[in-house]
Structure 1
Amino acid sequence: MTDHLDPGYAAAAEDRAREHGKPTRLGAGAWLAAGAILVGVVLGTAYAQASSSASDVDRTRTEMLSKVRAAETAGHTLATGRDELAIRVEALRARVLAGDAEGARVLDRLHTAEAGAAAEPVTGPGLVVTLTDPPARPDLTDSSQRGPGTARTGVLDRDLQSVVNALWSSGAEAVAVGGVRIGPGVTIRQAGGAMLVDNQPVPSPYRVEAIGSPQALETGFVVSDAYLRMAAVRDLYGVGFGVAGADDLQLPAATGRDTQYAQETGGS
């Protein structure tokens, strides 16, 4: 209350006494120019590095896509060659074994084993069950648009597994999912957002085809737990679910695999 002089005045007077002065306009401009040049160099270097990284990423992505397409082409070529060789082997086997009674019996046993292993294509009437992922919502980040089914991404692998098992239990003689035959050792599972049937990606809608008596299959399927499960999923989450009979289904053969470890069980 007694000293009304601001301390800044005393500091300014002391500075003048020591012959300190304000920096000149030319000096301030020089420092400003030097700072601008430094900032420009830093920004230019960062931009050059970002551009180089982006070009490297694009080049790497292009190379990976090229390798993936080349691998897919090679896979399709090998699969086509395998199918052609299988047809030739079948024809040669039939020509060699069908000449006598013992050979005919061997052929009958082979056909029975191949049918059980889904190793040969089949045709006939049956039932088709179609499962479809629900449509995407317009904006899931808006909490006002979230419903009770937004936490569910769509059809799950266990949904397809339950449908396939129910069709087997209903008397199906052969089953395929998305054109991939279900045989021994074939799995249905999810990997990220992809549905894999026998390690082959299958997109939505998922078409489950079963060969057998359409009436018997439908009668057994509509009373199964899988039907009740999918009907509830359809009502709660908007998943597409349909069942229809078919007069002529054509299912391919399953991919054959060599058995490495096996042992006989039961009596001989």
Structure 2
Amino acid sequence: MDHSLDDGYAEAAARKRAAGESGMPKTVRAKLGLAAGLVLAALVVTVGAAQARVSAPVVAKERQELIDRIDRETAAADKLEDTVDKLRAEVSARQRRALRHSGGDSRADLVGVLAGAVDVHGPGVKLVVDDAKEAGSGGGDGPRGTSGFSDTGRVRDRDMQRVVNGLWQSGAEAVSINGQRLTALSAIRAAGDAILVDNRPLVPPYTVLAVGDGNELSTRFQDSPDGLYLDALRDNYGIRASISVESDLRLPAAPSVIVRTAQPSTEKDTS
């Protein structure tokens, strides 16, 4: 009992003290370090929560101000668009009266219809094209094998281009997409996942109205290469499409019809 501690333990403890090491066990040191880390983490979280609570009303106020500004600008844009539509209709009516007074005939009305300068109505077909129910990544086979698009279940701009061109070739006299009248100068392009018609973004489903001989137009389009292309998209990628014959369709005039090369003639007709 006089020498219960081995001399070797006493020497090892002395060496640790001489090297400045603590005699505290490693498990105790680990627990103290973990406790200190937890206290520091709790302090950081508490400070962050306090700052978020202070800044939350400011963020909410700024967000609401942005929403209110968007609503005001949207209402102003809608009002201006309505004014433009009224002025365009008035200009079109004055043009028709001037043509009649100057000896214009029915050919002027036909030109206006074909150019999209006047609103039209009549029989035709209604074609609705929509994305697949579960649009997702597809393989590289089929009519879109070299398109470069990974999401093959979405309707693309070139799909709508083929649909519209197929309707024109099948005998359509006037065509619109989601209320946007198409002319010889119209462009169907893409901006990301959105389809633009004359720089106006459209959202699916895409409703295409085409005025013409309804039954013949429907048959000719479905038998055309573009109609078969649409069938291939439906069969291979699940893109939804339906066509129906309508007795009376109403298409608005094009937003703007710009004459690029024609100029009024100053010479009198002597014939």
Question: Normalised by the size of structure 1, how large is the TM-score?
Answer: 0.72
Task: Answer whether contact 2:114 2:174 (CA < 8 A) is retained.
Answer: no
Specify the alignment match of 2:113 in structure 1: 115
Q: Which residue of 1 aligns with 2:130?
A: 132
* Identical aligned residues as a percent: 36
For residues 39 and 223 of structure 1, do their structure 2 counterparts lie closer, same or farther at Cα, with a shift above 3 Å needed?
closer
Contact 1:188 1:195 in 2 (8 A): yes
Does the 8 Å contact 1:124/1:247 carry over to 2? yes
Is the Cα contact below 8 Å between 1:148 and 1:237 reproduced in 2? no
Q: Distance in 2 between matches of 1:79 and 1:214?
A: 32
Q: Deviations over 1:204-254 (max 9, x none)?
A: 221111101113312321221111111111111211122211110000111
The one-character-per-residue Cα deviations of 1:141-187 (angstroms, maximum 9, x if unpaired) are xxxxx876994232111111101000001111100111111113322
**Who is 1:11 aligned against?**
12
Aligned to 1:143: none
Contact 2:92–2:118, Cα closer than 8 Å, also in 1: no
Look up the match of 1:255.
255
Conserved? CA contact 2:180–2:254, under 8 Å: yes
Amino acid across the alignment from 1:129: L
241-250 vs 51-60, which moves further: 51-60
Map 1:1-268 to 2 at 5 A: 10-15=11-16, 38-51=40-53, 58-95=60-97, 98-99=100-101, 103-105=102-104, 110-136=108-134, 151-258=151-258, 262=261
Tell me, yes or no, if the aligned pair for 2:181 and 2:254 is still in contact at 8 Å.
Answer: yes
Comparing 50-59 and 195-204, the one that deviates more: 50-59
- Give the direction of change, closer, same or farther, for the CA distance of 1:51–1:156 in structure 2 (3 Å limit): farther
Q: Which range moved further: 59-68 or 247-256?
A: 59-68
User: In 2, are the aligned partners of 1:178 and 1:208 still within 8 Å (CA)?
Assistant: yes
Say if 1:14 and 1:199 are closer, same or farther in 2 by CA, change over 3 A: same
In structure 1, the partner of 2:146 is none
Question: 2:114–2:173: 8 Å Cα contact kept in structure 1?
Answer: no
1:27-50, Cα deviation, whole Å (9 max, x unpaired): x9x999987765544333333445
Change (3 A) 1:20 1:188: closer
1:58-108 deviation digits (Å, cap 9, x = unpaired)? 555444433333232122111211222223334444555544xxx132x75
- In the alignment, residue 85 of structure 2 is paired with which amino acid? D
CA gap 1:220/1:97 in 2 versus in 1, 3 angstroms: closer
Residue-by-residue CA offset, 1:83-141 (whole Å, 9 max, x unaligned): 22223334444555544xxx132x7565344323211100000112221211137xx7x
User: Following the alignment from structure 2 to structure 1, what is the Cα–Cα distance between the partners of residues 131 and 110?
Assistant: 37
Alpha-carbon separation, structure 2, partners of 1:225 and 1:8: 95
Aligned residue identity for 1:84 = K
| Inter-partner Cα distance in structure 2 for 1:16 and 1:91 | 105
How many pairs align? 243
**C-alpha distance 191-67 of structure 1, shift in aligned 2 (>3 A):** farther
Structure 2 unaligned spans of 5+: 1-5, 141-149, 264-271
In structure 1, runs of 5+ residues without a counterpart are 141-145
